[in-house]
């Protein structure tokens, strides 16, 4: 058996010998034997340290909340992928890869917080004031204020405010929560002045704030949120795989399936004749000149 | 408009000149499409998995491993089961620079999003590396011999070991001869009282493999993790994907380090040294006119010709012809059903 390194890099994360696997200096088998939890190990992985009990509790709470969110873009991806019956891992990979700039954009929120905390420090402004500046700058520029609003939970994500409260209850609140609370206050004050409805904090605003507070870098926090969701997406995919119909288009199912032909609504160019090869060059030239195609370019 | 190409061929299944245009009207006879799930639902104010409100779960002190049980098994686990899953997840979190970390780093070197790198790392789990699905299905197949055909577990384990001694998904190998982590995990499962038929059977498989093997072998991490997860009630495919996702957190850290420490790779940047190349020698390209003389067809008219060509093609790497995969033979099923 060839046990030569498969891929070589200088790394400060882990090493593995025939005797042990060591993560940031800790033998992982010893870590598990000593009773440390998976959430403890996440601090070791991303922060090179063991957390306090309160920090571990906060992460446990958050990962528990992040895990399941029923039908979101990530679960829909897992459903779609598994309907072709690849390996279950492909559905999980697709689900995790679904997270981007709209679905769970945790890293971007983290970097936004860093930028404004740093400005508060450099400019000698309180975090309370900086929250208002952040909101005004974003709204004046026509940008969305990250961490606010959720398209399905119109009265506020049921997980978000309890996460803030847990954050405070555990006594681990610091600069991040202070700034986030200020953002929420000034965001809604401005919306009220503008005659707009109240918009509550979402799980990026609440969850990512707590993750930042307990020491996770923006991308580490993003990883935690998105990969945790992978578990539930895998469960959804397994359900589809074991109890659903492959291809998702069967006419024999009592309910119209996701990919039934009748689910297709077409809004593109009208049906048109295919030009012969003899006509093609003249046809293409005219079509290109007329320019009607430009409205369809993606 | 005249006939286009072969679209008047009488062998076609219908008249192509009379095909309808437009999309299919909505089906009013059946229920409209909905995302049907027995795993979870949400409304404006709640997220519910297997009947439990997720916010009420975490407020009640349930954590990540507990909710993995809820999602995959629709039940609240025993405290000991949660402890065991936590233990396994700690062990699964990172494995140095193995395939998942390597894939995440390669993706990271192109400056992909972190989530793409994490997704890619999950894809590293196949039927060799992290082969929990193949492993679990193998155990179930041989345990079925005990249940359905009256074999003893020892006989089933001996047969399994004999038929899979060199299989990468056996769960017994020379990988963990110096590292006690796999055996410690099993000991922990026994101490917590969560071991069951899979661990018991796996012990017999280890004993059988040790008798048959001409080199020292023992339980490895695949065998230990797989057997314990199945004793915790997870199916083989659930085990596979749970471990793969757990490792994906580690891959996220490797993505971070790759981005932090290593240069970005540009399109066209990487060279492949000629000394690593063992394909055809450099050769001149025939003109398009010369092509007729040089190019030869590989369509075979008889099975004999096909077989010869098949073997010839197998001499080339990177064509896919050397990879032989088996598909289910319906005759085996017919035999089992007593129809043949």
Please tell me which of the candidates B49, B99, B118 has its beta carbon nearest to residue A68.
Answer: B49
Predicted confidence band at B74 (pLDDT cuts at 50, 70, 90)? very high
pLDDT digits (tens, 9 = 90+) for A227-247: 999 999 999 999 999 999 999
Q: Answer for the pair A257, B31: CB distance below 8 angstroms, yes or no.
A: no
Q: What residues form DSSP beta bridges with B45? A: none
CA-based nearest distance A281→chain B, Å: 17
pLDDT at A176 over 90: yes
Q: Do A92 and B262 touch (CB under 8 A)?
A: no
pLDDT at A74 over 70: yes
- DSSP letter for A100, please: S
pLDDT: is A292 or B327 the higher one? A292
| Lowest mean pLDDT, pick from A27-31, A230-234, A272-276 | A272-276
Query: What is the distance between the alpha carbons of residues A281 and A275, in angstroms, rounded to a whole number?
Result: 9
What are the residue boundaries of the structural domains of chain A, listed by start? 52-247
- pLDDT (mean) for B35-55: 93
pLDDT at A15 over 80: yes
Predicted confidence band at A90 (pLDDT cuts at 50, 70, 90)? very high
Q: Answer for the pair B122, B272: CB distance below 8 angstroms, yes or no.
A: no
User: Tell me, what's the ipTM?
Assistant: 0.83
Query: What per-residue confidence (pLDDT) applies to B296?
Result: 85
Query: What per-residue confidence (pLDDT) applies to B327?
Result: 79
**pTM of structure:** 0.89
Query: What is the distance between the alpha carbons of residues B129 and B309, in angstroms, rounded to a whole number?
Result: 32
Query: What per-residue confidence (pLDDT) applies to A105?
Result: 74
- pLDDT (mean) for A114-138: 96
State the best of B6, B75, B253, B265 to mutate against chain A, taking most chain A CBs within 10 Å: B253
A203: nearest Cα among A219, A182, A180, A236 = A180
List CB contacts (< 8 A) between A11 and chain B.
96-97, 254, 257
Predicted confidence band at B51 (pLDDT cuts at 50, 70, 90)? very high
Which token pair is B239? Answer: 């085990």
pLDDT digits (tens, 9 = 90+) for A33-42: 999 999 999 9
Q: Do B66 and A256 touch (CB under 8 A)?
A: no
Output the CA torsion sign for A235, A238, A242, A243: positive
Predicted confidence band at A200 (pLDDT cuts at 50, 70, 90)? very high
- pLDDT (mean) for B115-122: 96
Which strands make up the sheet holding B47-49, listed edge to edge? B40-42, B47-49, B52-53
Q: Do A6 and B257 touch (CB under 8 A)?
A: no
- pLDDT (mean) for A273-296: 93
Q: Do B175 and A36 touch (CB under 8 A)?
A: no
pLDDT at B325 over 90: no
Q: Answer for the pair A163, A65: CB distance below 8 angstroms, yes or no.
A: yes
Query: What is the distance between the alpha carbons of residues B71 and A218, in angstroms, rounded to a whole number?
Result: 27
Measured between CB atoms, does A271 come within 8 Å of chain B?
yes
Residue of A nearest to B243 (CA): A231
Which token pair is A64? Answer: 């528990």
- pLDDT (mean) for A275-289: 93
Predicted confidence band at B1 (pLDDT cuts at 50, 70, 90)? low
Whole-number average pLDDT of chain B: 94
pLDDT: is A2 or A155 the higher one? A155
Please tell me which of the candidates B49, B55, B89 has its beta carbon nearest to residue A158.
Answer: B55
List CB contacts (< 8 A) between A256 and chain B.
26-27, 30-33
Q: Do A158 and B47 touch (CB under 8 A)?
A: yes
Instruction: Say how many CA atoms lie within 13 Å of A169 toward its Cβ.
Output: 10
Query: What per-residue confidence (pLDDT) applies to B333?
Result: 84
Which token pair is A11? Answer: 């790394």
pLDDT digits (tens, 9 = 90+) for B171-186: 999 999 999 999 999 9
The H-assigned helical ranges of chain B are: 54-59, 64-73, 79-92, 99-109, 114-123, 132-149, 153-164, 181-192, 197-212, 221-231, 236-261, 291-294, 303-313, 330-336
CB pairs under 8 A between A and B: 316
Predicted confidence band at B238 (pLDDT cuts at 50, 70, 90)? very high
Query: What per-residue confidence (pLDDT) applies to A103?
Result: 83
pLDDT at B338 over 90: no
Q: 């981007």: which residue's tokens?
A: A100
Query: What per-residue confidence (pLDDT) applies to B205?
Result: 98
Query: What is the distance between the alpha carbons of residues A107 and A222, in angstroms, rounded to a whole number?
Result: 5
Query: What per-residue confidence (pLDDT) applies to B339?
Result: 81
């Amino acid at each position: 058996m060839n046990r030569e390194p498969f891929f070589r890099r200088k790394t400060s994360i882990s090493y593995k010998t025939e005797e042990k696997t060591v993560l940031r200096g800790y033998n992982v088998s010893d870590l598990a034997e000593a009773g440390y939890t998976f959430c403890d190990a996440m601090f070791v992985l991303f922060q090179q340290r063991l957390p306090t009990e309160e920090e571990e509790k906060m992460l446990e709470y958050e990962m528990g909340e992040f895990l399941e969110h029923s039908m979101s873009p990530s679960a829909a991806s897992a459903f779609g992928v598994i309907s072709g019956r690849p390996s279950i891992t492909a559905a999980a990979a697709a689900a995790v890869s679904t997270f981007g700039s709209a679905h769970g954009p945790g890293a971007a929120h983290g970097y936004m917080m860093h930028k404004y905390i740093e400005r508060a420090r450099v400019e000698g402004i309180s975090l309370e004031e900086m929250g208002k500046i952040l909101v005004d700058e974003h709204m004046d520029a026509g940008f969305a204020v990250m961490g606010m609003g959720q398209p399905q939970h119109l009265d506020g994500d049921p997980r978000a405010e309890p996460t803030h409260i847990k954050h405070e209850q555990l006594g681990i609140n610091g600069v991040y929560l202070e700034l986030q609370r200020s953002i929420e206050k000034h965001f809604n004050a401005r919306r009220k002045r503008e005659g707009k409805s109240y918009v509550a904090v979402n799980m990026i605003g609440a969850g990512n704030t707590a993750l930042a507070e307990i020491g996770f870098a923006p991308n580490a926090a993003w990883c935690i949120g998105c990969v945790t969701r992978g578990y539930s997406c895998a469960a959804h995919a397994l359900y589809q795989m074991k109890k659903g119909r492959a291809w998702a288009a069967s006419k024999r199912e009592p309910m119209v399936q996701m990919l039934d032909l009748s689910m297709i609504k077409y809004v593109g160019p009208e049906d048109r004749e295919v030009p012969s090869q003899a006509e093609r060059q003249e046809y293409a030239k005219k079509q290109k000149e007329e320019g009607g195609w430009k409205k369809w370019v993606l | 408009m005249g006939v286009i190409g072969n679209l008047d061929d009488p062998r076609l299944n219908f008249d192509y000149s009379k095909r309808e245009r437009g999309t299919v009207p909505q089906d009013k006879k059946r229920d409209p499409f909905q995302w049907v799930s027995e795993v979870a639902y949400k409304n404006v104010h709640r997220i519910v998995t297997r009947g439990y409100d997720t916010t009420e779960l975490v407020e009640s002190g349930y954590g990540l491993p507990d909710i993995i049980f809820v999602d995959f098994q629709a039940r609240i686990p025993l405290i000991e089961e949660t402890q065991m899953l936590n233990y396994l997840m700690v062990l699964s979190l990172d494995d140095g620079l193995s395939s998942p970390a390597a894939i995440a780093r390669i993706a990271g070197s192109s400056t992909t999003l972190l989530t793409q790198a994490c997704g890619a790392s999950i894809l590293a789990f196949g039927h060799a590396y992290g082969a929990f699905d193949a492993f679990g299905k193998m155990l179930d197949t041989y345990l079925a011999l005990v249940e359905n055909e009256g074999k003893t577990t020892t006989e089933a384990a001996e047969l399994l070991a004999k038929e899979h001694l060199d299989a990468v998904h056996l769960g017994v190998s020379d990988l963990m001869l110096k590292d006690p982590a796999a055996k410690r995990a099993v000991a922990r499962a026994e101490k917590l009282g969560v071991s069951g038929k899979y661990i018991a059977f796996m012990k017999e498989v280890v004993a059988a493999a040790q008798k048959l093997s001409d080199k020292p072998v023992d339980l490895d991490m695949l065998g230990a993790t797989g057997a314990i997860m199945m004793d915790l009630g997870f199916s083989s495919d659930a085990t596979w994907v749970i471990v793969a996702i757990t490792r994906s957190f580690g891959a996220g850290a490797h993505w971070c380090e790759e981005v932090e420490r290593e240069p970005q790779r540009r399109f066209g940047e990487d060279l492949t040294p000629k000394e690593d190349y063992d394909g055809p020698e450099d050769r001149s390209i025939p003109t398009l006119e010369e092509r007729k003389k040089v190019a030869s067809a590989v369509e075979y008219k008889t099975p004999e010709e096909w077989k010869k060509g098949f073997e010839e093609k197998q001499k080339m790497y990177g064509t896919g012809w050397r990879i032989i995969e088996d598909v289910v033979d319906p005759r085996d099923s017919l035999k089992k059903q007593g129809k043949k």
